[in-house]
């Protein structure tokens, strides 16, 4: 028998699985970061830093105002429990999971074994980079650049060295041992990954089944495409077989979610057996575009009525919502999106635009958004919040900020605002 869930119930299950049914800790510590990672599974890394780098954001959304230096210590210390790999895009993953990704590393290796591939045509570059890492230990790309051979007519080229590092990382021969600022430090995998993990062999089917299991646990309730996207598993047949195996084992339960349809036909969905249905979600949070709640566009539209597109590469005059707009969660609804910029020179969090989403209840949601913006400013060490007039929610958000007793609120003009 297949249970039926309302769309609101499905949202609460999904958000509960992501940790949004829990109250934020009063003093976030390393243990809270580890617990959040147990629920998330991965933490996506992105270089955009207009407000805060993306990998800091999911923990702020769930834990509140924690110290970003704490995350750096947890993820980037020499004794870290985490390492970087292409588990969704570039992400932090538990170091114990390295062997689960051998099937993806092998796929890269097979793809690049063709005679016309760059690695096949550049064995000397690959060998030189590996020798340098073996001899000298962890190195930044800049370290390799400084000491690389430079004679005219030799094989060496700076872009080739960067390609070599990327290739060796994707195939698992090299691991990222840390970062300086945002620059990666590379090392041979055996210098980063414990021997017991590095030597562990996980068959491809077993690895994919385990990743689908984890995706289901982190998603709460999901379709096949949701589960495949969580870890970017392209083999649909393998995902389908994994789902069938997990259903047979009683770990996934078939459900139907009202409103989850394609072409007028209901989508097949599954609920993880451990996924609770919270009575309510009382969280409010700013979400990075790379948060698992919204990173898969189909799921965001289906579950939250959020039609989301990152507009970084859209010409400024053609952007609908702003350069880097963040979805805003209130309760179990995505109610708005705000385009934020941290102006360090003036110590101001600039709300470049603010827009209501279809699920918004403006009279009650504006105050929750204002509280999150004030918290975000304090988290980033900014003294003021300034709101432009661009967007359907801009005036309401500004008014709610002004009503906060401790907020220093300003207004500024955005180039896209309509003329007065």
Is 101 within the bounds of a domain? Answer: yes
- Interval 98-104 mean pLDDT: 98
The CATH code of the domain that includes 295 is 3.40.630
- What pLDDT does 155 receive? 44
Domain boundary pick from 165, 182, 198: 198
Is 74 within the bounds of a domain? Answer: no
The mean pLDDT of the chain is 94
The CATH code of the domain that includes 169 is 1.10.10.10
Is 322 within the bounds of a domain? Answer: yes
Q: Using N-to-C axis directions, what is the helix angle for 394-403 and 362-379, rounded to 10°? A: 70
Q: Using N-to-C axis directions, what is the helix angle for 102-111 and 158-170, rounded to 10°? A: 140
Number of structural domains found in the chain: 2
Domain boundary pick from 162, 183, 198: 198
- Enumerate residues 6+ apart whose C-beta is below 8 A from 358: 305
- What pLDDT does 1 receive? 66
- Rounded Cα distance, 300 and 295, in Å: 7
pLDDT band at 400 (very low <50, low <70, confident <90, very high): very high
Cα of first residue to Cα of last residue in the chain, in angstroms, is 60
- What pLDDT does 63 receive? 98
Tokens found for residue 190:
């055996």
**183, 293: one domain:** no
* pLDDT tens-digit readout, 372-398: 999 999 999 999 999 999 999 999 999
Is 125 within the bounds of a domain? Answer: yes
**290, 399: one domain:** yes
- Rounded Cα distance, 410 and 221, in Å: 42
- Rounded Cα distance, 269 and 253, in Å: 8
Is 9 within the bounds of a domain? Answer: no
* pLDDT tens-digit readout, 319-361: 999 999 999 999 999 999 999 999 999 999 999 999 999 999 9
Is 325 within the bounds of a domain? Answer: yes
To the nearest whole percent, how much of the chain has pLDDT over 90?
85
Question: What is the 3-class SS of 200-219, one letter each residue?
Answer: CCCCHHHHHHHHHHHHHHHH
**287, 194: one domain:** no
- Interval 387-416 mean pLDDT: 94
Show the domain range for 377: 283-409
- Highest mean predicted confidence (pLDDT) among 221-225, 262-266, 413-417: 221-225
Task: Please choose, from the candidates 10, 3, 74, the residue with its C-alpha nearest in 3D space to the C-alpha of residue 36.
Answer: 74
Domain boundary pick from 140, 172, 198: 198
Is 364 within the bounds of a domain? Answer: yes
Tokens found for residue 376:
């975000």
**183, 298: one domain:** no
**182, 300: one domain:** no
- Rounded Cα distance, 329 and 335, in Å: 6
* pLDDT tens-digit readout, 179-191: 888 889 999 999 9
pTM: 0.94
Is 160 within the bounds of a domain? Answer: yes
- Interval 17-46 mean pLDDT: 97
Distance of CA 200 to the CA centre of its chain: 27
């Amino acid at each position: 028998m297949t249970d039926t869930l309302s769309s609101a119930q499905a949202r609460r299950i999904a958000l509960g699985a992501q940790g949004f049914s829990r109250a934020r800790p009063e003093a976030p510590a390393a243990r809270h970061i580890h617990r959040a990672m147990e629920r998330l599974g991965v933490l996506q890394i992105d270089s955009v830093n207009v407000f805060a780098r993306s990998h800091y954001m999911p923990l702020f959304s769930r834990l509140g105002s924690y110290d970003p230096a704490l995350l750096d210590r947890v993820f980037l210390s020499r004794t870290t429990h985490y390492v970087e790999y292409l588990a969704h895009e570039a992400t932090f993953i538990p170091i114990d999971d390295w062997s689960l990704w051998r099937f993806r590393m092998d796929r890269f290796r097979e793809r690049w074994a063709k005679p016309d591939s760059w690695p096949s045509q550049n064995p000397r570059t690959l060998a030189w980079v590996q020798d340098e890492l073996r001899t000298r230990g962890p190195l930044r790309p800049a370290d390799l650049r400084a000491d690389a051979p430079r004679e005219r007519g030799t094989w060496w080229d700076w872009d080739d060295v960067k390609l070599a590092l990327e290739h060796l990382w994707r195939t698992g021969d090299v691991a990222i041992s840390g970062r300086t600022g945002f620059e990666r430090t590379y090392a041979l995998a055996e210098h980063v990954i414990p021997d017991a993990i590095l030597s562990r062999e996980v068959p491809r089917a077993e690895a994919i089944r385990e990743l689908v299991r984890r995706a289901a646990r982190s998603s709460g309730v999901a379709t096949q495409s949701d589960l495949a996207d969580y870890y970017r598993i392209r083999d649909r047949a393998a995902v389908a077989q994994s789902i069938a195996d997990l259903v047979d084992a009683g770990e996934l339960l078939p459900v139907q979610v009202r409103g989850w349809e394609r072409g007028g036909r209901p989508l097949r969905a599954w609920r993880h057996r451990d996924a609770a249905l919270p009575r309510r979600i009382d969280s409010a949070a700013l979400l990075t575009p790379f948060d698992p709640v919204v990173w898969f566009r189909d799921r965001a539209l289906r579950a939250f009525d959020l039609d989301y597109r990152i507009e970084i590469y859209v010409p400024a005059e053609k952007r609908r919502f702003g350069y880097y707009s963040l979805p805003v969660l209130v309760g179990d609804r995505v109610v708005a999106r705000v385009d934020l910029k941290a102006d360090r020179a003036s110590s101001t969090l600039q709300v470049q635009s603010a827009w209501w989403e279809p699920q918004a209840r403006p009279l009650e949601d504006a105050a929750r958004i204002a509280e999150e913006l004030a918290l975000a400013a304090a988290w980033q060490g900014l003294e003021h919040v300034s709101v432009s007039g661009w967007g359907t929610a801009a005036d309401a958000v500004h008014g709610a900020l002004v009503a906060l007793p401790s907020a220093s609120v300003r207004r500024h003009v955005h180039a896209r605002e309509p003329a007065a």
